[in-house]
Structure 1
Amino acid sequence: MTVLNLPARIGDRPQTGPSVPHVQLSQHSPDDVRERLKQWMTDHLDGAVIRPSEISEPGSLAFFLDGTLPPPNTVLLPPRLNAEFVHVHTDGSLHLALSKQDQHELITKGWGERHPLYSPTINVVMLYGPRTDEELQIAQTVIKASYRYATGHDVPATSSREPDRQRI
């Protein structure tokens, strides 16, 4: 797996909830940045079905493998561990599955943290919600790494999504 090469995040880490639901309590993503992130994910994550999360709080937008790309031997988000690979919370933070190397980079550079229930069989890390255009680009880079981890493929440079497949 390709290892992320992130810059250090500027500023203090946001406050997050210590248990489930694991949400970001401070430094929320501005509405316009959060909406652009969701639109980018909708437009660029080919081979993903978009629907409510099976595990997250109501209002979270989740992306699931649709079966067109056979997944490598990976552990994704609960409860099924083989379908949902990322979701965006209403506060702009995300939960996603990443390789061990990418998790280490995300955490040590200050961009996220492990979920309180994280274990070898529950591969969930939080990516803090992007606050600026620069952080939005970092979030896209991390989401691409999650997509690559889940599918074994890179995010296509151009989307082949048809408009009617965008929201399910």
Structure 2
Amino acid sequence: MELPERKGDRPETGPEVPHIQFTQTSPPEIRESVRQWLSALPGTVTGRSEISVPTSYAVFAPAAARDAVLMPPRQSAEFVHVHADGSLHLSLDPSDHAAFLASGWGEKHPLYDRGVNVVMFYAPRDEAEVEVAKTVVAASYAYATGHMLIM
């Protein structure tokens, strides 16, 4: 996965679960734009997250790829959710983790080092950053479903 380097300082995030972002959050219209886009991902089901706080909007892959390790508790359905602050948690192919983290767009989930395949994408601050978020979600979608997302 190739991503441009994120501009600006790293936002302040919480060090434990629930893993949320405190600064540089998304404006309401950006959050809604992301949520609307997520709701249209083909072959998915949306709803309340099974792992995150009740206000998180999640996307599930009912027919997850056989070897994909997604979010707990099932590890076979929820592959992305967006929080009220605009940040996203998602599962990525392990081969994408290093490039994603090096790009500055996000960080490991507090349970990542305990084998949980979840990273945080920092809350998009504008439409250009929404486009980067879509690229990362598309990679998560491909990993979760085994199908490329036509954007």
**What TM-score, normalized to structure 2?**
0.95
Q: 109, 114, 132: which one pairs with 1:115?
A: 109
Equivalent pair of 1:46/1:156 in contact (CA under 8 Å): no
Larger RCO, structure (CA 8 Å, separation 6 or more): 1
Percent identity over paired residues: 52
Q: Considering only CA atoms, is the larger Rg found in Structure 1 or Structure 2? A: 1
Deviations 1:86-128 (A, max 9, x none): 0000100000000123221111110000100113631010000
- Residue equivalent to 2:70: 76
Residue of structure 1 equivalent to 2:131: 137
Paired AA for residue 33 in structure 2: R
Preserved CA contact (<8 Å) 1:95 1:124? yes
TM-align CA RMSD: 1.2
More off after superposition, 76-85 vs 118-127:
118-127
What SS does the corresponding residue of 1:51 show, helix, strand or coil? Answer: strand
Specify which of 37, 57, 61 is matched with residue 61 of structure 1.
57
For 1:125 and 1:35, locate their aligned partners in 2 and report how far apart those are by CA, in whole Å: 21
Gaps of at least 5 residues in structure 2 are none
- Report the CA distance between 1:72 and its aligned residue: 3.1
CA distance in 1, matches of 2:136, 2:114: 20
Distance in 1 of aligned mates of 2:99 and 2:67: 21
Matched to 2:75, the amino acid is L
Q: In structure 2, what is the equivalent of residue 151 of structure 1?
A: 145
User: Which residue number in structure 2 is paired with residue 14 of structure 1?
Assistant: 11
Match of 1:50 among 39, 46, 49: 46
Q: Which residue of 1 aligns with 2:24?
A: 27
In structure 1, what residue type is equivalent to 2:57?
L
Segments of structure 1 that go 5 or more residues without pairing to the other structure are 158-168
**Structure 1 residue ranges (4+ consecutive) displaced by more than 2 angstroms after TM superposition:** none
Q: Secondary structure at the match of 1:149?
A: helix
Counterparts of 1:114 and 1:99 in 2: how far apart (Å)? Answer: 14
Task: State the TM-score, normalized to the length of structure 1.
Answer: 0.86
Distance 1:80 1:119, change over 3 A: farther
